[in-house]
Amino acid sequence: MTVTLPTPAAPLKIGTRGSPLALAQANETRDRLAAAFDLPHEAFQVVVIKTTGDKIIDRPLKEIGGRVCSPARSRNRCSRARSTSPCIR
We report the CATH number of the domain holding residue 60 as 3.40.190.10
- Residue 21 domain-assigned (yes or no): yes
DSSP 3-state of 12: strand
- Residue 89 domain-assigned (yes or no): no
- Residue 87 domain-assigned (yes or no): no
Return the pLDDT at 89: 45
* Tens digit of each residue's pLDDT, the chain (89 residues): 888 999 999 999 999 988 899 999 999 999 999 999 999 999 999 999 887 666 777 777 667 665 555 555 555 655 555 555 544 44
Q: How many domains does the chain have?
A: 1
Return the pLDDT at 63: 72
Positive or negative, the CA dihedral 38, 41, 45, 51 is positive
- Residue 47 domain-assigned (yes or no): yes
**Reported pTM:** 0.63
DSSP 3-state of 48: strand
Backbone angles phi and psi of 84, in degrees to 5: -105, 10
- Residue 54 domain-assigned (yes or no): yes
Domain residues for the domain of 27 are 12-80
- Residue 4 domain-assigned (yes or no): no
